[in-house]
Chain A
Amino acid sequence: MKNALLVDDSPTILLSISGVLTKAGYTVKTAAAGAEALSMLAAGLKPSVIITDLNMPNMDGIELIRQARAAPGCRFLPMLMLTTESRTDRRAEAKAAGATGWLVKPVQPAELVAVLDRVIPA
């Protein structure tokens, strides 16, 4: 069973994207902040993929990915940015921090699912 950890400070995005992924057959866990997501990983959550927003209070998505990469079992875990941000310098930062890919909102549901199919090992 594929499962995703979705991180965003927007409750609407959490509902929207978790709904799309659930209908695509994913089990979805959500976190409203980077620290909450890291706590879930520390507690033993083993997602197939992490999808995170960039601009969030206290900890942005790039820092979340940087810290999550160091968590046990997360070294090769696919981690995607899902953000309204389109600046290339921020993409470069995310890539350097260990992000697997960058998706600009709004993303088409079918495209999101197709990306997940590509990055999650069979």
Chain B
Amino acid sequence: MPASSTKAIPRAAALREILPLTDVLRAQLGAVTDRAEEVAQQFAKHMFDVDAQAGLLAARVQSLGGAANDQAAAVQTLKARSDELVGALEASLADRDQIIRGLVSQVRDQNRFIAEIRTIARNTKIVALNATIEAARAGTDGAGFGVVATEVRRLANGADKTAGALAEELAQLGGRLAEALDDSRGRGAHATNEAIGQFGEAQAGLVQQVSDAGGRVERVVAEVSDVSDVLGAITTEGLGLLQFQDISRQATEQVQQALARIAEHAERIAVRLEGTEEGDDVPTLDIGGLEASYVMDEQRVIHAAAVGGQPMSTASAPTIELF
């Protein structure tokens, strides 16, 4: 056996050591691909969860905004009702003043009747005086008439005195009513107006606070809605990026196929070395066939860069083409 042949067998055996190595590398690449696929799917599910939670958060905040609007509307309704009540109160106070003014006027009108009573009393006293004089002239016959005249004069004096007292009482009553009226227009009116003003200010403050709070809630709702939209857009972009897992899977599968080709090539060389098969002494590895099997331009570019040639171009086909 020639020396070259005696060395061929161990060389073939050494070459065949490549075979289990390529098997291991292919298995490792397969495991990486499977793991990447599993992670990609978990990632997608997480993205869906984030998107769902963002939508839920936006919906809940929107609901909160609706409740705030309802509250603001309720306060506005309350304010309108309060305004009505204040208006009614002011009208009632105005009516009360009008009634008091009427009473004062009526009391003052009573003085006219008192004056008439006093006039009647004065005339009665004159009549009584004349009757007394006539009774004196009549002598004994007029004595009884004189008694009556005296009584009439005393009654007239009593009526005059009573009329005076009544006039004084009415004057005091009129004064008190006028004073009460002035008081309701003055201090009372001031106090009432002040109370109504304070109530109005407190009410306006409350309405403003609710309005401000409503405005803040609206801004928060808008901001949360914007954030939710941004999260939705990020989710969509993230889901789109997952396509790279499929792209890398296909590229990895082709590397696995290339490793299988290397193993086959090594086996063919080993067979030649052992001289058990006729053929060329050194079979060629069809690297051009590898390049032709690529599906992505990026693979062709990387291949060409590695072997120092020009990529097998597919011209400038657009990435999106409608026929």
Binding site for B on A (CB under 8 A): 8, 10-13, 15-17, 19-20, 23-24, 55, 83-88, 91, 95, 99-109, 111-112, 115, 118-119
Within 8 A of A (CB), among B158-191: none
Most chain A CB within a 10 A radius of its CB, from B45, B245, B295, B296:
B295
Bound Cα distance from A103 to B318, whole angstroms:
8
- From B245, B295, B296, B317, give the contact of A12 (CB < 8 A): B245
Listed A/B pairs (5) with beta-carbon separation below 8 Å: A19-B236, A85-B296, A101-B323, A102-B323, A111-B320
Bound Cα distance from A23 to B234, whole angstroms:
11
In the bound complex, do residue A102 and residue B295 qualify as a contact, i.e. CB atoms below 8 Å apart? no
B243 at the interface (CB under 8 A from A): yes
With A12-B245, A84-B247, A84-B295 known to touch, is A104 a contact of B319 (CB < 8 Å)? yes
Bound Cα distance from A12 to B248, whole angstroms:
12
Q: Which residues of B contact A115 (CB under 8 A)?
A: 320, 322
Q: Which residues of B contact A83 (CB under 8 A)?
A: 295
In the bound complex, do residue B319 and residue A12 qualify as a contact, i.e. CB atoms below 8 Å apart? no
Number of interface residues of B (CB under 8 A): 34
Q: Which residues of A contact B264 (CB under 8 A)?
A: none
Pick the interface stretch among B36-44, B61-69, B99-107, B200-208: B36-44
CB nearest to B232 among chain A residues = A23
Q: Which residues of A contact B297 (CB under 8 A)?
A: 86
In the bound complex, do residue A103 and residue B320 qualify as a contact, i.e. CB atoms below 8 Å apart? yes
In the bound complex, do residue A106 and residue B41 qualify as a contact, i.e. CB atoms below 8 Å apart? no
Q: Which residues of A contact B37 (CB under 8 A)?
A: 10-12
Bound Cα distance from A26 to B275, whole angstroms:
64
B310 at the interface (CB under 8 A from A): no
Bound Cα distance from A80 to B232, whole angstroms:
25
In the bound complex, do residue A107 and residue B246 qualify as a contact, i.e. CB atoms below 8 Å apart? no
Q: Which residues of A contact B47 (CB under 8 A)?
A: 19
B249 at the interface (CB under 8 A from A): yes
In the bound complex, do residue B41 and residue A86 qualify as a contact, i.e. CB atoms below 8 Å apart? no
- From A10, A20, A23, A111, give the contact of B249 (CB < 8 A): A10
CB nearest to A53 among chain B residues = B246
In the bound complex, do residue B317 and residue A88 qualify as a contact, i.e. CB atoms below 8 Å apart? yes
Chain B's nearest CB lies how many Å from the CB of A113? 9
Chain B's nearest CB lies how many Å from the CB of A2? 16
Known interface pairs A19-B44, A55-B250, A101-B320; 8 further A-B residue pairs with C-beta atoms within 8 A, sorted by A's residue number: A8-B246, A10-B245, A11-B41, A24-B236, A85-B295, A88-B315, A107-B319, A119-B322
Within 8 A of A (CB), among B207-224: none
Q: Which residues of B contact A108 (CB under 8 A)?
A: 240
In the bound complex, do residue A15 and residue B242 qualify as a contact, i.e. CB atoms below 8 Å apart? yes
In the bound complex, do residue B41 and residue A105 qualify as a contact, i.e. CB atoms below 8 Å apart? no
Bound Cα distance from A23 to B244, whole angstroms:
20
With A11-B41, A87-B314, A103-B319 known to touch, is A23 a contact of B235 (CB < 8 Å)? yes
Across chains A and B, which 8 residue pairs bring their CB atoms closest together, nearest first? A106-B243, A16-B242, A101-B322, A19-B239, A104-B319, A109-B240, A15-B44, A10-B246
In the bound complex, do residue A91 and residue B317 qualify as a contact, i.e. CB atoms below 8 Å apart? yes
B48 at the interface (CB under 8 A from A): yes
- From B48, B295, B317, B322, give the contact of A19 (CB < 8 A): B48
